Chain A
Protein backbone atom coordinates (compact mmCIF):
# COMPACT_ATOMS: atom_id res chain seq x y z
CA UNK A 1 0.00 0.00 0.00
CA UNK A 2 1.27 3.45 -0.83
CA UNK A 3 1.62 6.23 1.70
CA UNK A 4 -1.25 8.06 0.06
CA UNK A 5 -3.49 5.09 0.81
CA UNK A 6 -2.37 4.71 4.40
CA UNK A 7 -3.11 8.36 5.11
CA UNK A 8 -0.90 11.26 5.91
CA UNK A 9 -0.36 10.59 9.61
CA UNK A 10 2.34 7.98 9.10
CA UNK A 11 5.88 9.32 8.82
CA UNK A 12 8.44 7.65 6.63
CA UNK A 13 11.70 6.91 8.38
CA UNK A 14 15.12 7.02 6.81
CA UNK A 15 16.86 3.70 7.24
CA UNK A 16 20.45 2.82 6.89
CA UNK A 17 22.63 0.03 8.07
CA UNK A 18 26.22 0.61 9.12
CA UNK A 19 28.52 1.28 6.17
CA UNK A 20 30.19 -1.88 4.93
CA UNK A 21 33.56 -2.59 6.54
CA UNK A 22 34.70 -4.24 3.33
CA UNK A 23 36.00 -2.46 0.26
CA UNK A 24 34.98 -3.25 -3.28
CA UNK A 25 36.66 -5.97 -5.31
CA UNK A 26 38.28 -4.59 -8.43
CA UNK A 27 40.87 -2.35 -10.03
CA UNK A 28 41.22 1.07 -8.46
CA UNK A 29 43.10 3.87 -10.15
CA UNK A 30 45.45 5.56 -7.66
CA UNK A 31 46.72 8.33 -9.93
CA UNK A 32 48.97 9.14 -12.85
CA UNK A 33 51.96 6.97 -13.69
CA UNK A 34 54.32 9.92 -14.12
CA UNK A 35 53.68 11.07 -10.53
CA UNK A 36 54.93 7.74 -9.14
CA UNK A 37 58.04 7.51 -11.29
CA UNK A 38 60.22 10.10 -9.58
CA UNK A 39 62.48 7.60 -7.83
CA UNK A 40 60.78 8.07 -4.47
CA UNK A 41 58.42 5.86 -2.49
CA UNK A 42 54.85 7.15 -2.37
CA UNK A 43 52.26 6.83 0.32
CA UNK A 44 48.69 5.89 -0.56
CA UNK A 45 46.11 5.65 2.18
CA UNK A 46 43.59 3.21 0.79
CA UNK A 47 41.36 0.29 1.75
CA UNK A 48 41.65 1.12 5.44
CA UNK A 49 45.43 0.83 5.40
CA UNK A 50 48.54 2.44 3.95
CA UNK A 51 50.33 1.34 0.80
CA UNK A 52 53.78 2.16 -0.48
CA UNK A 53 54.23 2.60 -4.23
CA UNK A 54 57.57 2.94 -6.01
CA UNK A 55 59.24 2.23 -9.33
CA UNK A 56 62.03 -0.37 -9.45
CA UNK A 57 65.17 0.10 -11.53
CA UNK A 58 63.28 -1.07 -14.64
CA UNK A 59 60.63 1.59 -14.04
CA UNK A 60 58.06 -1.02 -13.06
CA UNK A 61 55.70 0.08 -10.31
CA UNK A 62 55.53 -2.02 -7.16
CA UNK A 63 52.97 -1.84 -4.39
CA UNK A 64 53.36 -3.24 -0.86
CA UNK A 65 51.68 -2.77 2.48
CA UNK A 66 53.05 0.51 3.77
CA UNK A 67 54.04 -0.68 7.23
CA UNK A 68 57.31 -2.53 7.66
CA UNK A 69 56.96 -6.00 9.16
CA UNK A 70 60.07 -5.43 11.32
CA UNK A 71 58.82 -2.84 13.79
CA UNK A 72 56.10 -1.07 11.89
CA UNK A 73 58.09 1.67 10.16
CA UNK A 74 56.38 3.61 7.36
CA UNK A 75 58.05 2.41 4.17
CA UNK A 76 56.57 5.29 2.18
CA UNK A 77 58.77 7.65 4.23
CA UNK A 78 61.85 5.63 3.28
CA UNK A 79 63.97 5.66 0.15
CA UNK A 80 64.30 3.60 -2.99
CA UNK A 81 67.61 1.70 -3.04
CA UNK A 82 68.13 -0.23 -6.25
CA UNK A 83 65.00 -2.28 -6.87
CA UNK A 84 63.95 -2.16 -3.23
CA UNK A 85 62.27 0.19 -0.84
CA UNK A 86 64.34 0.81 2.30
CA UNK A 87 62.58 1.41 5.61
CA UNK A 88 63.44 4.76 7.30
CA UNK A 89 63.51 3.08 10.73
CA UNK A 90 66.23 0.35 10.44
CA UNK A 91 66.89 0.23 6.69
CA UNK A 92 65.37 -3.20 5.99
CA UNK A 93 65.11 -3.64 2.22
CA UNK A 94 61.84 -4.87 0.74
CA UNK A 95 61.46 -6.14 -2.82
CA UNK A 96 58.43 -5.77 -5.02
CA UNK A 97 57.72 -9.48 -4.50
CA UNK A 98 57.07 -8.73 -0.83
CA UNK A 99 60.24 -10.40 0.49
CA UNK A 100 62.82 -8.78 2.70
CA UNK A 101 65.97 -8.94 0.59
CA UNK A 102 68.49 -7.56 3.01
CA UNK A 103 69.03 -6.26 6.51
CA UNK A 104 72.20 -4.19 6.28
CA UNK A 105 73.22 -4.81 9.92
CA UNK A 106 72.36 -8.52 10.02
CA UNK A 107 73.89 -11.52 8.27
CA UNK A 108 70.57 -13.29 7.83
CA UNK A 109 67.01 -12.34 7.06
CA UNK A 110 64.61 -14.12 9.43
CA UNK A 111 62.13 -16.68 8.15
CA UNK A 112 58.75 -15.43 6.98
CA UNK A 113 60.11 -11.96 6.31
CA UNK A 114 57.39 -11.42 3.81
CA UNK A 115 54.83 -8.64 3.52
CA UNK A 116 51.64 -8.21 1.57
CA UNK A 117 51.95 -7.38 -2.11
CA UNK A 118 49.28 -5.69 -4.17
CA UNK A 119 48.65 -6.38 -7.85
CA UNK A 120 49.36 -3.24 -9.82
CA UNK A 121 49.26 -2.30 -13.46
CA UNK A 122 49.68 0.76 -15.61
CA UNK A 123 47.58 1.66 -18.63
CA UNK A 124 46.92 4.88 -20.55
CA UNK A 125 49.21 6.76 -18.16
CA UNK A 126 47.34 5.68 -15.03
CA UNK A 127 48.25 3.34 -12.19
CA UNK A 128 45.80 0.74 -10.93
CA UNK A 129 45.78 -1.41 -7.81
CA UNK A 130 43.65 -4.51 -7.44
CA UNK A 131 41.72 -4.94 -4.23
CA UNK A 132 39.92 -8.11 -3.22
CA UNK A 133 38.78 -8.81 0.32
CA UNK A 134 39.20 -12.53 -0.40
CA UNK A 135 42.81 -11.98 -1.46
CA UNK A 136 42.38 -13.51 -4.92
CA UNK A 137 44.31 -12.37 -8.00
CA UNK A 138 42.69 -10.02 -10.55
CA UNK A 139 39.65 -11.34 -12.40
CA UNK A 140 40.32 -11.30 -16.15
CA UNK A 141 36.79 -10.14 -17.08
CA UNK A 142 37.21 -7.12 -14.83
CA UNK A 143 40.24 -5.86 -16.79
CA UNK A 144 40.12 -2.14 -17.54
CA UNK A 145 39.75 -1.59 -21.30
CA UNK A 146 42.25 0.57 -23.14
CA UNK A 147 40.98 4.05 -23.94
CA UNK A 148 40.02 4.95 -27.50
CA UNK A 149 41.88 8.19 -28.04
CA UNK A 150 43.33 9.76 -24.92
CA UNK A 151 46.96 10.61 -24.10
CA UNK A 152 48.32 7.41 -25.70
CA UNK A 153 47.28 9.00 -29.00
CA UNK A 154 49.52 11.96 -30.02
CA UNK A 155 46.54 13.79 -31.52
CA UNK A 156 45.04 14.05 -28.02
CA UNK A 157 46.14 16.17 -25.07
CA UNK A 158 47.80 14.77 -21.97
CA UNK A 159 45.62 14.20 -18.91
CA UNK A 160 44.47 17.35 -17.18
CA UNK A 161 44.04 15.76 -13.78
CA UNK A 162 42.67 16.71 -10.39
CA UNK A 163 41.89 14.99 -7.12
CA UNK A 164 40.09 15.69 -3.91
CA UNK A 165 39.21 13.90 -0.69
CA UNK A 166 35.51 13.37 -0.01
CA UNK A 167 34.44 12.55 3.53
CA UNK A 168 31.64 10.09 2.92
CA UNK A 169 31.21 6.47 1.91
CA UNK A 170 31.86 5.99 -1.80
CA UNK A 171 28.37 4.56 -2.49
CA UNK A 172 27.24 8.17 -2.87
CA UNK A 173 29.23 8.64 -6.05
CA UNK A 174 27.88 5.39 -7.49
CA UNK A 175 24.30 6.60 -6.96
CA UNK A 176 25.22 9.55 -9.16
CA UNK A 177 25.33 7.38 -12.26
CA UNK A 178 21.56 6.86 -12.18
CA UNK A 179 20.43 10.13 -10.69
CA UNK A 180 18.80 11.75 -13.70
CA UNK A 181 16.96 14.42 -11.79
CA UNK A 182 20.08 15.80 -10.09
CA UNK A 183 21.60 16.71 -13.45
CA UNK A 184 18.95 19.38 -13.78
CA UNK A 185 18.88 20.64 -10.21
CA UNK A 186 22.53 20.24 -9.22
CA UNK A 187 24.37 20.47 -12.53
CA UNK A 188 21.92 22.61 -14.50
CA UNK A 189 21.89 20.27 -17.47
CA UNK A 190 18.76 19.03 -19.17
CA UNK A 191 18.85 15.43 -20.42
CA UNK A 192 16.80 14.81 -23.57
CA UNK A 193 17.87 11.18 -23.68
CA UNK A 194 19.11 9.07 -20.80
CA UNK A 195 19.90 5.40 -20.54
CA UNK A 196 21.45 3.19 -17.91
CA UNK A 197 22.57 -0.31 -18.75
CA UNK A 198 23.92 -2.59 -16.03
CA UNK A 199 25.45 -5.86 -17.11
CA UNK A 200 28.11 -8.06 -15.57
CA UNK A 201 30.65 -5.78 -13.93
CA UNK A 202 29.81 -2.73 -16.06
CA UNK A 203 27.32 0.05 -15.44
CA UNK A 204 26.76 2.53 -18.25
CA UNK A 205 25.08 5.87 -18.43
CA UNK A 206 24.31 7.35 -21.81
CA UNK A 207 23.15 10.90 -21.77
CA UNK A 208 22.34 13.48 -24.37
CA UNK A 209 21.69 16.85 -22.90
CA UNK A 210 21.30 20.52 -23.57
CA UNK A 211 22.60 23.10 -21.15
CA UNK A 212 20.34 25.32 -19.13
CA UNK A 213 20.96 28.85 -20.32
CA UNK A 214 19.81 30.35 -17.04
CA UNK A 215 22.55 28.66 -15.04
CA UNK A 216 25.95 29.33 -16.48
CA UNK A 217 27.48 32.07 -14.29
CA UNK A 218 30.00 29.67 -12.70
CA UNK A 219 31.31 28.56 -16.08
CA UNK A 220 31.33 32.11 -17.39
CA UNK A 221 33.32 33.18 -14.33
CA UNK A 222 36.22 30.85 -15.20
CA UNK A 223 36.09 31.82 -18.87
CA UNK A 224 35.00 28.40 -20.16
CA UNK A 225 33.62 28.47 -23.69
CA UNK A 226 29.83 28.46 -24.10
CA UNK A 227 28.58 24.91 -24.19
CA UNK A 228 25.32 24.10 -25.92
CA UNK A 229 25.07 20.52 -24.79
CA UNK A 230 26.81 17.19 -24.78
CA UNK A 231 26.61 13.53 -25.62
CA UNK A 232 28.15 11.35 -22.97
CA UNK A 233 28.63 7.60 -22.72
CA UNK A 234 30.07 6.83 -19.31
CA UNK A 235 30.83 3.30 -18.16
CA UNK A 236 32.01 2.01 -14.82
CA UNK A 237 34.36 -0.86 -15.47
CA UNK A 238 34.12 -2.47 -12.08
CA UNK A 239 33.34 -0.61 -8.86
CA UNK A 240 35.39 2.55 -9.20
CA UNK A 241 36.76 3.37 -12.62
CA UNK A 242 34.61 5.19 -15.14
CA UNK A 243 35.54 6.07 -18.70
CA UNK A 244 33.31 8.75 -20.13
CA UNK A 245 33.40 9.31 -23.88
CA UNK A 246 32.16 12.81 -23.93
CA UNK A 247 31.38 14.94 -26.94
CA UNK A 248 30.90 18.61 -26.15
CA UNK A 249 28.74 20.57 -28.51
CA UNK A 250 30.00 24.14 -28.62
CA UNK A 251 28.89 27.13 -30.63
CA UNK A 252 32.05 26.63 -32.71
CA UNK A 253 31.55 22.87 -33.25
CA UNK A 254 32.01 19.52 -31.53
CA UNK A 255 34.94 18.45 -29.40
CA UNK A 256 35.68 14.82 -28.52
CA UNK A 257 37.02 14.24 -25.03
CA UNK A 258 37.57 11.39 -22.64
CA UNK A 259 36.72 12.05 -19.04
CA UNK A 260 37.95 9.72 -16.32
CA UNK A 261 35.96 9.64 -13.10
CA UNK A 262 37.49 7.31 -10.56
CA UNK A 263 37.98 6.91 -6.86
CA UNK A 264 39.53 4.70 -4.24
CA UNK A 265 38.34 4.34 -0.66
CA UNK A 266 40.61 5.67 2.08
CA UNK A 267 38.38 3.96 4.60
CA UNK A 268 34.63 3.31 4.89
CA UNK A 269 33.90 6.99 5.51
CA UNK A 270 36.11 8.72 2.99
CA UNK A 271 37.45 8.33 -0.49
CA UNK A 272 39.81 10.02 -2.91
CA UNK A 273 37.95 11.28 -5.95
CA UNK A 274 40.04 11.76 -9.09
CA UNK A 275 39.12 12.98 -12.52
CA UNK A 276 40.98 13.75 -15.67
CA UNK A 277 40.28 14.95 -19.16
CA UNK A 278 42.04 14.32 -22.43
CA UNK A 279 40.84 16.11 -25.51
CA UNK A 280 41.27 15.55 -29.20
CA UNK A 281 43.33 18.39 -30.59
CA UNK A 282 41.54 20.62 -33.06
CA UNK A 283 42.28 19.69 -36.69
CA UNK A 284 43.60 23.14 -37.42
CA UNK A 285 45.97 23.76 -34.55
CA UNK A 286 46.04 27.26 -33.13
CA UNK A 287 49.15 29.40 -33.43
CA UNK A 288 49.64 28.58 -29.80
CA UNK A 289 50.54 24.88 -29.57
CA UNK A 290 49.51 24.82 -25.90
CA UNK A 291 46.00 26.08 -26.73
CA UNK A 292 44.46 22.60 -26.64
CA UNK A 293 46.11 21.90 -23.25
CA UNK A 294 44.79 25.19 -21.95
CA UNK A 295 41.29 24.32 -23.13
CA UNK A 296 41.54 20.86 -21.52
CA UNK A 297 42.61 22.51 -18.26
CA UNK A 298 39.55 24.76 -18.45
CA UNK A 299 37.36 21.75 -19.05
CA UNK A 300 38.74 20.06 -15.98
CA UNK A 301 37.94 23.22 -14.07
CA UNK A 302 34.37 22.88 -15.37
CA UNK A 303 34.27 19.25 -14.23
CA UNK A 304 35.60 20.35 -10.88
CA UNK A 305 32.68 22.76 -10.58
CA UNK A 306 30.35 19.83 -11.29
CA UNK A 307 31.92 17.62 -8.65
CA UNK A 308 32.05 20.46 -6.15
CA UNK A 309 28.29 20.74 -6.56
CA UNK A 310 28.00 17.00 -5.77
CA UNK A 311 30.46 17.13 -2.89
CA UNK A 312 28.55 19.98 -1.27
CA UNK A 313 25.41 17.81 -1.35
CA UNK A 314 27.25 14.72 -0.03
CA UNK A 315 28.90 16.67 2.78
CA UNK A 316 25.51 17.51 4.24
CA UNK A 317 23.25 14.61 3.33
CA UNK A 318 22.61 11.40 5.24
CA UNK A 319 23.17 7.86 4.06
CA UNK A 320 19.84 6.38 3.07
CA UNK A 321 19.12 2.73 2.28
CA UNK A 322 15.42 3.27 1.59
CA UNK A 323 15.22 6.26 -0.75
CA UNK A 324 11.62 7.21 -1.51
CA UNK A 325 11.60 7.39 -5.28
CA UNK A 326 9.07 8.88 -7.65
CA UNK A 327 8.45 7.69 -11.19
CA UNK A 328 10.74 10.35 -12.63
CA UNK A 329 13.74 9.10 -10.65
CA UNK A 330 16.41 6.77 -12.03
CA UNK A 331 17.16 3.16 -11.05
CA UNK A 332 18.82 3.82 -7.68
CA UNK A 333 17.93 0.45 -6.16
CA UNK A 334 19.02 -1.40 -9.28
CA UNK A 335 22.45 0.25 -9.47
CA UNK A 336 23.01 -0.55 -5.81
CA UNK A 337 22.08 -4.16 -6.51
CA UNK A 338 24.71 -4.12 -9.29
CA UNK A 339 27.27 -2.45 -6.99
CA UNK A 340 26.74 -5.06 -4.29
CA UNK A 341 28.45 -7.74 -6.41
CA UNK A 342 31.80 -6.12 -5.57
CA UNK A 343 31.25 -6.43 -1.82
CA UNK A 344 30.09 -10.02 -1.46
CA UNK A 345 32.38 -13.03 -1.84
CA UNK A 346 32.67 -14.21 -5.44
CA UNK A 347 30.73 -17.35 -4.50
CA UNK A 348 27.83 -15.18 -3.30
CA UNK A 349 27.42 -13.06 -6.43
CA UNK A 350 23.80 -13.61 -7.51
CA UNK A 351 22.42 -13.45 -11.05
CA UNK A 352 20.23 -10.45 -10.19
CA UNK A 353 23.41 -8.42 -9.49
CA UNK A 354 24.88 -9.08 -12.92
CA UNK A 355 21.90 -9.76 -15.24
CA UNK A 356 21.38 -7.03 -17.78
CA UNK A 357 19.07 -4.23 -16.67
CA UNK A 358 18.08 -1.30 -18.87
CA UNK A 359 16.54 2.00 -17.88
CA UNK A 360 15.72 4.36 -20.71
CA UNK A 361 14.24 7.82 -20.90
CA UNK A 362 13.61 8.91 -24.46
CA UNK A 363 11.82 12.18 -25.00
CA UNK A 364 12.33 12.14 -28.79
CA UNK A 365 8.81 10.96 -29.49
CA UNK A 366 6.27 13.40 -28.08
CA UNK A 367 3.57 11.99 -25.85
CA UNK A 368 0.92 13.19 -28.31
CA UNK A 369 2.49 10.97 -30.96
CA UNK A 370 2.29 7.97 -28.62
CA UNK A 371 -1.31 8.74 -27.84
CA UNK A 372 -2.23 9.30 -31.46
CA UNK A 373 -0.80 5.90 -32.32
CA UNK A 374 -2.66 4.16 -29.53
CA UNK A 375 -5.88 5.88 -30.60
CA UNK A 376 -5.28 4.83 -34.18
CA UNK A 377 -4.69 1.27 -33.04
CA UNK A 378 -7.86 1.24 -31.01
CA UNK A 379 -9.80 2.66 -33.97
CA UNK A 380 -8.22 0.18 -36.36
CA UNK A 381 -9.04 -2.72 -34.08
CA UNK A 382 -12.61 -1.52 -33.72
CA UNK A 383 -12.88 -1.25 -37.50
CA UNK A 384 -11.42 -4.74 -37.92
CA UNK A 385 -13.83 -6.12 -35.37
CA UNK A 386 -16.74 -4.44 -37.17
CA UNK A 387 -15.51 -5.78 -40.48
CA UNK A 388 -15.15 -9.27 -39.03
CA UNK A 389 -18.62 -9.02 -37.61
CA UNK A 390 -19.95 -7.92 -41.00
CA UNK A 391 -18.21 -10.85 -42.69
CA UNK A 392 -19.42 -13.41 -40.18
CA UNK A 393 -22.93 -14.13 -41.61
CA UNK A 394 -21.48 -14.86 -45.04
CA UNK A 395 -18.92 -17.25 -43.49
CA UNK A 396 -21.58 -19.12 -41.58
Chain B
Protein backbone atom coordinates (compact mmCIF):
# COMPACT_ATOMS: atom_id res chain seq x y z
CA UNK B 1 0.00 0.00 0.00
CA UNK B 2 1.99 2.99 1.22
CA UNK B 3 0.33 6.35 1.66
CA UNK B 4 1.41 9.27 -0.49
CA UNK B 5 2.49 12.62 0.95
CA UNK B 6 -0.15 15.28 1.60
CA UNK B 7 -0.01 17.71 -1.35
CA UNK B 8 -0.58 20.66 1.01
CA UNK B 9 2.66 20.07 2.89
CA UNK B 10 4.84 20.61 -0.20
CA UNK B 11 4.46 24.39 -0.13
CA UNK B 12 3.74 24.89 3.54
CA UNK B 13 5.29 22.27 5.82
CA UNK B 14 4.67 21.78 9.54
CA UNK B 15 6.69 23.87 12.02
CA UNK B 16 8.21 22.83 15.33
CA UNK B 17 6.57 24.32 18.40
CA UNK B 18 7.84 23.77 21.94
CA UNK B 19 5.36 23.48 24.76
CA UNK B 20 5.90 26.25 27.30
CA UNK B 21 5.06 24.01 30.24
CA UNK B 22 6.71 20.67 29.42
CA UNK B 23 9.72 19.48 27.47
CA UNK B 24 7.53 18.39 24.57
CA UNK B 25 8.15 19.52 21.01
CA UNK B 26 5.54 18.92 18.33
CA UNK B 27 5.06 19.82 14.69
CA UNK B 28 2.27 22.27 14.00
CA UNK B 29 0.60 23.66 10.94
CA UNK B 30 -2.12 26.25 10.73
CA UNK B 31 -4.00 26.20 7.45
CA UNK B 32 -6.05 29.20 8.60
CA UNK B 33 -6.76 31.13 11.77
CA UNK B 34 -9.34 28.49 12.65
CA UNK B 35 -7.48 25.35 11.66
CA UNK B 36 -4.62 23.67 13.54
CA UNK B 37 -2.82 20.37 12.90
CA UNK B 38 -0.51 18.87 15.50
CA UNK B 39 1.83 15.95 14.92
CA UNK B 40 3.05 14.37 18.12
CA UNK B 41 5.94 12.00 18.66
CA UNK B 42 6.39 9.31 21.30
CA UNK B 43 8.74 11.64 23.19
CA UNK B 44 6.30 14.55 23.15
CA UNK B 45 3.47 12.30 24.33
CA UNK B 46 5.65 11.00 27.16
CA UNK B 47 6.71 14.52 28.17
CA UNK B 48 3.20 15.98 28.18
CA UNK B 49 1.82 16.51 31.67
CA UNK B 50 -1.58 17.95 30.79
CA UNK B 51 -3.18 15.77 28.13
CA UNK B 52 -6.88 15.37 28.76
CA UNK B 53 -8.62 12.53 26.92
CA UNK B 54 -11.83 14.57 26.81
CA UNK B 55 -15.27 13.01 27.18
CA UNK B 56 -17.25 11.38 24.43
CA UNK B 57 -20.45 11.51 26.46
CA UNK B 58 -20.09 15.20 27.29
CA UNK B 59 -18.71 16.19 23.91
CA UNK B 60 -15.34 17.43 25.19
CA UNK B 61 -12.42 17.07 22.79
CA UNK B 62 -9.16 15.40 23.80
CA UNK B 63 -6.61 18.18 24.14
CA UNK B 64 -3.59 19.53 25.96
CA UNK B 65 -4.68 23.04 26.92
CA UNK B 66 -1.14 24.14 27.71
CA UNK B 67 0.14 23.11 24.32
CA UNK B 68 -2.87 24.79 22.76
CA UNK B 69 -1.89 28.02 24.53
CA UNK B 70 1.74 27.61 23.42
CA UNK B 71 0.57 27.22 19.83
CA UNK B 72 -1.66 30.29 20.06
CA UNK B 73 1.28 32.23 21.50
CA UNK B 74 3.51 31.09 18.65
CA UNK B 75 0.91 32.44 16.21
CA UNK B 76 0.60 35.73 18.04
CA UNK B 77 4.40 36.02 18.19
CA UNK B 78 4.57 35.50 14.47
CA UNK B 79 6.85 32.45 14.88
CA UNK B 80 4.14 30.12 13.54
CA UNK B 81 2.81 31.18 10.16
CA UNK B 82 -0.86 30.94 9.24
CA UNK B 83 -1.01 29.50 5.73
CA UNK B 84 -4.24 31.14 4.60
CA UNK B 85 -3.08 34.53 5.85
CA UNK B 86 -0.61 35.39 3.07
CA UNK B 87 -1.23 38.98 2.02
Q: A333-B6, A343-B1 are in contact. Are A327 and B31 (CB under 8 A)?
A: yes
A351 to B42, Cβ gap below 8 A? yes
Contact B62 A370 (CB under 8 A): no
- Interface residues of A, dominant DSSP: mixed
**How many of A's residues come within 8 Å of B, CB to CB?**
57
Asked if residues B37 and A333 are in contact (CB atoms below 8 Å), the reply is: no
C-alpha gap A363/B36 in the complex (Å): 11
B31 contacts A333, C-beta separation under 8 Å: no
Looking at chain B's contact residues, the main secondary structure is: loop
Give which listed residue, A193, A256, A329, A374, contacts B76 with CB less than 8 A.
A374
Please tell me if A361 contacts chain B, counting CB pairs below 8 Å. Answer: yes
> Are the CB atoms of A377 and B37 closer together than 8 Å?
no
Q: Do A355 and B41 have beta carbons less than 8 Å apart?
A: yes
Mark out the residues of chain A between 324 and 383 whose CB falls within 8 Å of any chain B CB in the assembled complex. 324-329, 331-334, 336-337, 340, 343-344, 351, 355-363, 365, 367, 370-371, 373-374, 377-378
Q: Does B49 contact A (CB under 8 A)?
A: no
Q: Which of A206, A324, A370, A378 contacts B61 (CB 8 A)?
A: A206
Indicate with 1 or 0, residue by residue over B76-87, a CB within 8 angstroms of chain A CB atoms.
Answer: 111000011000
- Whether A197 sits at the interface, judged by CB under 8 Å, is yes
CA A391 to CA B7, docked complex, whole Å:
49
B38 at the interface (CB under 8 A from A): yes
Is B42 a contact of A355 with CB atoms below 8 Å? yes
Other than the known A208-B59, A233-B57, A358-B63, what 4 A-B pairs have Cβ atoms closer than 8 Å?
Answer: A359-B35, A370-B33, A374-B78, A377-B77
The answer to the question of B32 belonging to the interface, with a C-beta cut-off of 8 Å to chain A, is: yes
- Find A322's partner among B7, B32, B36, B55 (CB 8 Å cutoff): B7
* Interface pair B1/A20, CB less than 8 Å apart: yes
A312 contacts across to B, CB distance below 8 A: none
Is A115 on the interface with B (CB-CB < 8 A)? no
A15 CB, nearest partner CB in chain B, Å: 8
Are A333 and B4 also in contact (CB < 8 A) when A327-B35, A362-B34 are?
yes
Which 4 A-B residue pairings sit nearest by Cβ, starting from the closest? A356-B40, A233-B56, A231-B59, A333-B6
Interface membership of A204, Cβ < 8 A: yes
Interface residues on B, range: 35 or more
Contact residues in B for A20 (Cβ distance below 8 Å): 1
B interface with A by C-beta (< 8 Å) = 1-8, 10-11, 31-42, 45, 54-57, 59, 61-63, 75-78, 83-84
CB distance from B8 to the nearest CB of A (A): 6
The residue of chain B having its C-beta at the shortest distance from the C-beta of A321 within the complex is B4
A-B contact pairs, 16 of them (CB 8 A): A1-B10, A193-B61, A206-B61, A208-B59, A231-B59, A232-B59, A245-B56, A322-B4, A327-B31, A328-B32, A328-B35, A333-B5, A334-B6, A355-B45, A356-B38, A370-B33
Given contacts A17-B1, A357-B39, A206 and B59 within 8 Å (CB-CB): yes
| Chain A residue contacts of B42, Cβ below 8 A | 351, 355
Chain B residues positioned under 8 Å from A304 (CB to CB): none
Which B residues lie within 8 Å of A148 (CB)?
56-57
Residues in A whose Cβ lies below 8 Å from that of B41: 351, 355
Whether A356 and B45, one on each chain, are in contact in the complex, defined by CB atoms closer than 8 angstroms, is yes
CA distance A245 to B77 in the complex (A): 38
Contact of A340 among B3, B7, B75, B83 (CB under 8 A): B3
Q: With A and B bound together, what is the CA distance between A245 and B10 in angstroms?
A: 36
